[in-house]
Every structure is written in structure tokens, then in C-alpha cells.
A and B are shown apart, each in its own frame.
Chain A
């Protein structure tokens, strides 16, 4: 069964610190992996999209990595800011999917001053 699992479920860190969120998936055949940021009560906003051939992609203070062999991805946030407080969701697309993305449950990140 195609699944996307994220860890930790929630994380609290101090402003200015770095953190890394994990995503493991069992989706096969793999097409691409996305990381979304979702503020409370808002729609998800895309941070990165990576295909099979890409193993790292950055978007400002966000850096995503992908190991398609071990089916793992991580999202690293550098020098966290209060505005980074949100849920971060890992989403994987199956190559032959009928438009359906497989969503993780997300990691709820709280940045404290």
C-alpha cells in the first residue's frame, strides 16, 4: 500500500535554531515528492518539488533532500523564525497515478521566542 509517513508528529524549537523534518514513503513507482507548508486555517503552500533525479532543492531557508533509493526525504529549516510555525506536509506522487497525490499527516512545528 502506498504510504507517506512523517516524523516527528510535532516539534517545538527556539527561534533561530535549525531543525530537520523527516519523510519516509513506500510509493512505487515514484514520480515526485513535494513539501508543503500549511499555516493554521490556511491552504497549503508549495515549498519544493523534487523528481527522481534530484537529491536536493532549496527555497530560501528551506532545503529539501531526497534519497530515492531508501525512499526518504528531509526538510531542513535554517535559522528558524516565528513565522515558520506551521504544519509541514510531505506529498508523494505515483508515476502512473490518476492525479491523486499521497499526503503525509504532517509535522506540526512550533517556533518559540
Chain B
């Protein structure tokens, strides 16, 4: 697609429910990132995919959070037993350059519009 697409744009759920957030990166981008942004804060790193594999999931706050990218394109962030503290905007970004390769660390990140999650 022309840009990074995220769905849903808004999700309101009740405490304890399960939520899935989807990210469709720019076509051909092998690197995909998930971030979480709370109001007035900069984005917080969650997980980085290179192709189908999670190259770094050290930012996932706990085992209620999980992300997949089975075919190396679309990624889904899954949150189990949601808590009110999970309320935030979840941002997805993609890049054409894998991190760690020549030029990879300066590869531009293209962000989606985010999925705003509200846990009541």
C-alpha cells in the first residue's frame, strides 16, 4: 500500500477482554516495529520484526502482550486480559532497511496513524 495502515483506528474494550491490533506495512518493507504512546509522551518501543521473526521483543511489558507476523508482511499485536493501564495509542512503523545492516540504523521509519486503545 501507499503507507502503513493500522486497524482499528479506535478500540474501546472492557478490562479483562482480549484485543487484536493490526498493522499492514508499506509493501516490500521487511522491518516492522510496534510502539506504544501514552498522552504527552514519546513512543515506547515494544517489538521489532525482521521478516517473519521477532528480532527483539524486549519492549513487551509482560506476557499478556504478544505479536506475530506470520508471512513477513501484516503484523498483529495481541493483548490478553486487558488492563486500564494498557490504554494508549499503539503505533506501527515499517522500514525498507533491516536494522544492523549497512545504513540500516539510519533507515527512515514510516509510521501508521496508530490504533487508540481505551480499556474501561
- Which A residues fall within an 8 A CB radius of B? 4, 31-32, 41-46, 49, 51, 89, 91, 93, 95, 97-101, 103-106
Contacts and interface: CB of A to CB of B under 8 A. Distances in A.
A99 B53 CA distance: 14
Contacts of B91: 43-44
Given A31-B105, A105-B40, A99 B45 contact: yes
Interface in B101-120: 105-106, 108-114, 116
Interface in B35-55: 40-45, 48, 55
Contact of A44 (B55, B56, B106, B111): B111
Contact of B42 (A42, A93, A103): A103
Interface residues of B, number: 26
B99 interface: yes
B57 to A, nearest CB: 10
Contacts, number: 54
A99 B106 contact: no
B113 A42 contact: yes
B79 interface: no
A89 B43 CA distance: 10
Contacts of A49: 106, 108
A43 B9 CA distance: 11
Given A49-B108, A98-B58, A99-B55, 18 more contacts: A32-B105, A32-B106, A41-B113, A42-B114, A43-B4, A43-B114, A46-B108, A46-B109, A89-B42, A95-B105, A98-B56, A99-B33, A99-B48, A100-B58, A101-B45, A104-B42, A105-B40, A105-B42
Given A32-B106, A100-B59, A45 B111 contact: yes
